[in-house]
Amino acid sequence: MTENFFSESFDTPTGRMRIITDAEQRLRAVDWENKGDRLLQWLRSHYGENGFRLGETPAPSAPRLALEAYFEGQVAAIEAIRTLPRGTEFQLLVWSALREIPAGSTLSYGALAAKIGRPAAVRAVGAANGANPIPIVVPCHRVIGADSSLTGFGGGLDRKRWLLTHERTHATPSFPYNLELRI
């Protein structure tokens, strides 16, 4: 079955972004345009070379409007975005848990592994975090190293730093998630 997806691009303080939605305006993928064709490669790997059709959106989608509000300081706006990523059962579990980390807060990979009931799966959690096709909305940037350091982020550490600072400026942190972050 071929899926119909819609693409739209817009400018953000972190660079120009491209998002992919479906006909029901569920967010399927997000990436920065300067990351080349990584977004299309992800779509091909999960839906097959001929498993999707990509068209342009006729008007700004609900996910785009929510992301624009997020970048304008309404960081909670992304919580209402409906998503439908494709991944393994474990990846989907991790991505669901990521959405529970409140804006302005951070969590270590080990704490995230414990949260999903798999405390020994720290590396697998890291791999699932790195495979997240919907950064920001599925906030993989909120996961940090056990020593509170910034660690890998597909968008780059400068963007991760910006996103965390932005959220801490515009959101009230929720405990017990906050770890002292070294930016």
- pLDDT over 50 at 183, yes or no: no
User: What percentage of the chain has pLDDT greater than the value 70?
Assistant: 93
DSSP-derived secondary structure for the chain: -PEEEEEEEE--TT--EEEEEETT--EEEEEEGGGTTHHHHHHHHHH-TTSEEEEE-SS--HHHHHHHHHHTT-GGGGGG--B-----HHHHHHHHHHTTSPTT--EEHHHHHHHTT-TT-HHHHHHHHHT-SSTTTS-GGGEE-TTSB----TT-HHHHHHHHHHHHHHS---TTT----B-
Q: Taking 60 as the threshold, does the pLDDT of residue 176 lie above it? A: no
For range 18-29, the mean pLDDT: 95
Active site residues: 140
Q: Average pLDDT, stretch 100-127?
A: 94
Average pLDDT on 111-124 reads: 95
Average pLDDT of the segment spanning 46-59: 90
Domain boundaries, the chain: 3-80, 89-170
Topology of the domain covering 3-80: Double Stranded RNA Binding Domain (3.30.160)
pLDDT at 80 over 60: yes
User: Residue 172 pLDDT more than 90?
Assistant: no
> 89-170 has which CATH code?
1.10.10.10
Mean pLDDT of the chain: 91
- pLDDT above 90 coverage of the chain, percent: 75
- In this prediction, residue 148 has a pLDDT band, given cuts at 50, 70 and 90, of confident
Residue 174: per-residue pLDDT:
58
